[in-house]
Structure 1
Amino acid sequence: MLQPALPARLVDRPALTATLDAASAHKVVVVKAGPGWGKTTSVAAWAATRRACWLNAADAGTSLERLSRGLLRALRQRLPRLPAELITTTAQGADTVASLIRGLLDVHLDEPVVLVVDDAGALPEGSDSARLIESLCLRGPELLSVVLLTRGELGFDPGPVSEIDSRQLAFTEQEIAALVDADAAGVLARTGGWPAAVVLNGEGHSEDELAASVLAAEPEENRELLRAIATLGRVSTALCVALGFTDVRETLRGLARRGLLTGPDWSVLEPIAELSRRDTEDPEIRVKAAVFCERTGAHAEALRHLVAARKWDLVAQLLLRGDERIVAGGDADAVLAALEQLEIDDSRLHLVWGFALQHKGDWLGALHCYEQAGERTVRSSWRMGQLHALAGQTDKAVEVFERTVFDAVASLDEVRLLSLAVRWFRETGRHEKARELAGRCAETARRCGGHAAFAWSSRACGLLAGFDGDRAAFELHYGQAVDRARRAGCRMLELTIRSERAWFLAAETDPAQALAEIDEILVLGRQAGLTGHEPDCLGVRALAAVRLGRFDDALRDAGRCPRHLVIKAEVHRRRGEPGQAQAFLDEAMALPGTDPLVCATLARVVAGEDPGRARQLAEQAVATSQVLRLREVPALLARGWVAVLAGDRETARADAATARALAGRRGDKAGLADALQLAAATSADRKALLAEAVMVWKAADDPVGAAIAELAVARLTGVDVVRFENAVHAHGVRTDVSMADVLGAGAPRSARIVVRTLGGFQVLRDGVPVPSALWQSKKARDLLKILAGNSGRPVPRPQLVELLWPDDLSDRTANRLSVLLSTLRTVLCVPGLPADAEPLVADRDTVSLDLSLVDLDVAGFLGAASTALVAHRRGDQAALPLLIAADELYLGEFLAEEPYEQWAIQVREEVLGRYTAVLRALVQLVRDPDQQVGYLVRMLELDRYDEGAHVRLVKALRAAGRHGEARRRYQVYLEQMREIGVRPSEPDLFGDRPSGVLRAG
């Protein structure tokens, strides 16, 4: 027969075409789907551009003769030299006919041909017709490919095949949009991409008749299965088996291939599902499904089925058994919705309601529900106490515990309450009670039995070890707790314990490991559908990030939770932003049960402005850290740094030694590095201690701490101070703030000596210009200018002599230089500097300026510009603010009053080149055309023949809507190029190409 005619409106389907092309590389392709899936149309459209012939097997029925004649007619479409009839009769059987046809094909087939057999599934199993097609599939010539179209299973064995089913035949959203005028996404959702249903939907017709015909073609047991799946919405194969459907696996796959189901989580195609759901729904199916779901841990799904079945007594029982697991899986809304439909006649349901509200963030509503529950049972107490502890009200959690009525029989709820109470009592300073409760928890766990109980008991012991700084015991007990939780099969408990262990690691010993642990916990929780622990995990991640110097990450993860105020404050403290840090700490101080870390951090923040308050806060932190030993190191460091600023070296030295020993014993690298820095502030061996601190910061994976320690070394030695300051600035950290830390203790409070060389030469002492009479001679000024041009680098004495007295070859120049140095020391002398502080550094061979004592503007600009340009080349986000800061430091040409001195010219050109590069980078980064215009105008002030700047300026002015000014600047550009005899690269920016830009000759 001829290939079927294609519809007038045919959608291009490149993905399906590619699938058919890939499949046709196989000898046999089977396209299997139910009615309406467009098998014939899709394959016909594909075959139209291939060397294909078409046979409809349904036309032949069971007649071998009709099939063989139809086969020859089909093949003659591509092989016209084939005979019209076979020379034998079909009475000799299918094998003989197949052999003859194969022989003919071997003779006449000289290039690939595709034989499409439509309705191949209509050939009866075991019939001669079926055996004929089977023979062609199994033993046909190499150049013959066979494509079999069928609604169901074939009645013969085609051998190895490549199969295409309804999943590949379904329309995509883009294909639906090309076919119908309706909302493509909506049509896809209603039809599942079923081609016939899409067409009906697009024409405004109902798909009911189509769905009914498809269902009618299925046996009753399949229709019953489809009704059950349509009722439940989405099912697994195991659930189907649990519902009583036998041999269901192959049935499901067959239904999917025919396009009635989608898998592997099986759901019925929507038009068929809608028709199936119209039958009377059997609520017992949902009850059976709920039992299965609860047994397999899908408690939220079980709740959904029971609510849909309106089995309210079963709903209440399920909530009382499994509300914690449902809420932990992120389905608190489902719990609340179910409770809204229940008559609350059991006070325990108030606990369920409160627990769901608590995880939704409605803590006030949760507390109200817990109070309505009445008697303080162990279950109500651990839930209410946990709520108070999360709100930072640990003292109220303790009160709840003390009012609890305990049962005579040990239970998991009691073990959990005791384990939680260990922390509450420990944080409120009742050490002995906490230890007593830990022992009681262990005993109750033994009486209760079960891995979950022992997990909570081990957690309590690990908690005490963590607070006591006993890392070995901490690791042992928490390791046992995690193992027990896993063996209990309680993923939520496992994640809770692991996140608590990560908090201890982040707070003291190993923030990098804590970060890796939290990331794994978040992944595992989401895989298990558990999200209730995520706020705590983000808090731990924020704490780890701030200790690793990742400040933006820390602020993002800390969010708005009141428990994370001290984390946000620590970010701002380390960035050198005392105002913002103090705002968070003042808020944290107002909360009950203040953490010693809050007092310690606040003491360091206010020490520069209010030493008295800082000392009181530091003493309070040290005193309360004896209760919470986890905070001993930060408390001691706070008191030590406050003492340094106050000049109390003995206290600082003692606190540094104690903190250093504690941090080393506990594996607290950050605490150890800061203790080394504190020790350096009171030691004669400052450089070695600071260098060791640098190494420890690097070992702790904290680049910010390392950069700050390196800056402290540079300030101590006077070498590369500007470079290291710019490195710290690149991390977004200020270096000019007075706080109780290594920079606040070691940096000069203000620049007492300032040498300005950009935009004019001037020297200031304590903000006052040096009087002219003090210079005594112009040569002293020249000497300082030469030293300034070298930006703190030592200059050999012979070079200074050559620059100051180029024509004087006498021996008197050395004495003259000594006189000038004496004069310059007087000029740079500031009362009150330490005895060993010398702004002018001179030895037998060289002379230089000590930039830790002298604020030299050219050195500051060159260093800032270099750092900014490096950041720009690397694509760092900090590049733009660094470039803006460098631009603000450029106040004009270097020593413009020395236009002819070669040493000044070299520095001037370096500064000019660096500033031009800064402006060019700013033009690239800023998006505002008006800002670009400002930078480009300055570039042209530096070099009026910079063609690139001219062109960009014209374009920026046009982008800013300043067309008149753009045209004027365009004429200036053409004139400047004419002056130097250069042909403009863009002579027609306004479409009016100038003539005679270059003069002849």
Structure 2
Amino acid sequence: MGEDNTAGLRAVPRPLDVELPRPRLVDRLRCRWSRPITLVTAGAGFGKTTALAQSVRANLLAPRGVDAWVTCLPDHADGNRLAHAILHALGDSGRDPGAPEVLLALRRTAPLDVCLFLDDVHELPDGSPGAALLADVVRALPGTAHLVFSGRCAPALPLARREAAGDVVAVRTGDLAFTDAETAALARSFGRRPADDLCGWPALIRLSLTAGRSASWRYAAEEVLSNLSGPMRTALAALVVLGCATEDEVGSVAGVPVDLERLAETVPLVNRLDDGRYRAHDLWSGLTRTDHLRGKAVEVLVARGELAGAGRIACRAGDWDLLARLAVDLVRTTLSVLPCTTARRWLEAVPADRAGEPAFLLLKAAVSHAVDFGDPSIDGLVDRACARLLDAGDHEGAAAALGQAVITAHSRGDLVRLLDLAGRAQRLDTDSPVLRLVRHSVSAVAAEMAGEPEEALVHLALAPVAEVPRALAVSTTRFHVHCLSMCGRGQDAAELAERMLDDDLASRHAATARWFDGEAVEFQGDDPDSTARDEFVARALHTVIAASFGEITAELPGEQENPRDAVLACASHAAVAVVRGEEELARDLYKRHLARWPVDVKVAERHLRRFLTLGYVLNDELRDRWDNTDLGTSHRRALAAGRAFLRARRGDLRPTLPEEHALCFLPLPWSLELACRHAAAGRTKLGAWLADRVGPAVHRRLRDLAQDPDLAAGAAKLLATVPAPPGHPIGVEVLGPLRVTRDGVAVDAPELRRARVRQLLGLLVLRPVVTREQAVDLLWPDLDPAGAARNLRVTLTHLRRLLEPERAGGEASYCLRADGDTIRLSRGGLLTADLWSFHDLSAADQLDQAVALWRGDPLPDLADLCEAEIGRLRARHVENLVELGELRLVTGDPAQAGSLAGRALELEPFDPRAHRLALAAALRARNPQRTTEVRARVLASLRELCVRPDPATEILLRQTAVSS
């Protein structure tokens, strides 16, 4: 109850002039609540948006669920932008973009139904990432979610199966056209007679009524325009060319002050949206001249980041000079995160005789780079584009071409080309911020490729990052973060990423920097904008990090043609070899790498430091080199981890390695070897920390190490003190008769026939921690202390056998922890209890699941021992039943709501909220007999309590009196 049904309706058009109520159409659209998909398709001017808006407002008056609205724009062809818009409409804008996140947001409204309106869906080209996102959502649409697609044509979505099952409601042109009665009703509201030749076309009927009965739609439109002042006509033209815009944006394009509120009041089919923007109907686009405003409109769209919209203007007008400027801007402002869908659409629109122009060559090169940075045609395309832009005197464009060339060369590790590009950058005779950034970036990349990341940092510190477009600044900052990490300054790298990059990008780069700085952080999802080069680097880093958890990921290709990528391949293969127990192979991998790329090759040696511990342990030459090198902070920590490990192998345990550093810098076989050596000396902290952080892989390896004579003592010590998770999930159910399950199957163990075992288990589920004294006082109050303690020990033994019958002798119990004077169950992980889930689900308002857990009176074996606590559980269950019933009532299921109210009243016959729910459910069900029975029950309860009904209950009682 209390849901905000207006969430996501920020851009629903409000009625203008006179909006004709259309109950017939609203009723048809109300079917959207009973079908998963509704398609509304018709040409411009058939009132699709108006009809949908009326349906939304009807739902506000008599809610059946939550509505959310997205008006599709050209930029929504980008899947990430469309996902962001949908998540924002659903009130979940903080999540990462993508189909899984959209589906999760749709599920979050359950048990309430949610209806997502996607208006102007024709703006999403077939095959675009945006269309693919919608297809993914349609395939996995939750049962409580409904989609309404509105546009000039039906989207190419996988609907055949749903249409065959009758799950699709189609509203076509004939449904949207005005009937004679509706036309007459609208005409009466204007005090005029309608034209006879408009075939029910709503926009033209309305336009004819505003412009005069005898006018054709073109004549009427011309009459409307002719009556506007010059500034008003210009404002309308500016709004038409912009699509949706604020008053300030329209004024900027028109070049004169504008009053869009007055324009909306004067001109039909100009809407003011709820978010404050205005929109002119597409019918006006064919009636207003906009060529003279095109340039300024593009400037506005570019300023607000809508390059796709600006490009659409250029393509529609066939203004290839404008599109060429936009193409350069697109490359310059996006670089390594080029929106390929938009770029390809522009290239397809360019006539063959213009495709060889430098701007389009540059755009083609950028698209090729995004697909395959190793494509040999890229350099030629970029060089031709750069040379022709210079010949034309366009140094800004040449700088953008150089930026693309640098990114491609860096992706390939081509130092020779980078040095050549650095020389070209210095010869450009303009000092714009973009060019200055390109110059410093080229020099920085060249320095890094030469093995001098410290020199690269000097150049990057001079780059005017704050003065250039966002995407260019992001690209430069990412490289800055990389260079800081290369210098062993992981903390600085993480702080720069968090300060300068967007949330998702910052979290990924900061997490990687912190991990290789020795901080065991959590990692986020993949980068949706990554290039093939980014993916190669990410796979190498992930392989090394996964080795810390004993995991083996897909390996990289072994042969690489440059030292930088050869290091990534060598380190990832060596980490996998160590995890497999093939340490000699790992040593050989480093030996072979150094034979091809000797340690004196600066760039190779600097990249080897990224995985310093691996090289330090596996190769004597690298160890000697780094023992006598001034290293950065992160690298010193990695070196300390390698030294501690090697000294431990020699029996020297004096250096104490922080647990996080053991995880971050050592593959799991090495960190566990170190933990076993420390455990043999009585120090189990590292082993316990690794088991808690890494999980079951630790105990699997410890059992293997227990067979190693050199490590057996330490491994046995850890197995005896650090509990291993059981091999299957264990469940304890106390919300009803006690049950214990393994893998979801109830067990019939002899221990369950012991009353004290059942009581102790129930008590440990009910209370987080129980002292031994509390347990014996509660379960054996009549025994002497020695006898009670003996009984407790025996009961604990039976309880351990019940929960973990397969546990080997000498190994610590995972489920049951008896530490000193306290006894507890290990909550979470593989041990679950319905009572714990009940509390969690109740707190998270997942009431249907919480209610489903209840099988009867809870903890029957403790009914006389823990009466107050069991009473509070019962009260919370009653509250859950009533709240869930209220939600079912809102979503149009009065039968289920009444059933839930009845269950609540069986447990608490005098609960006033349950009485109100029962009354409301009976009223909604329209069952007079049931209404009479519920009313009588409520009145009897009030009489028994000798109290008057509260105001809300009294209102319902009056309604039931009338109904019955």
TM-score, normalised with respect to structure 1: 0.47
Q: Give 1 or 2 for the bigger CA radius of gyration.
A: 1
Relative contact order, higher structure (CA 8 A, sep 6+)? 2
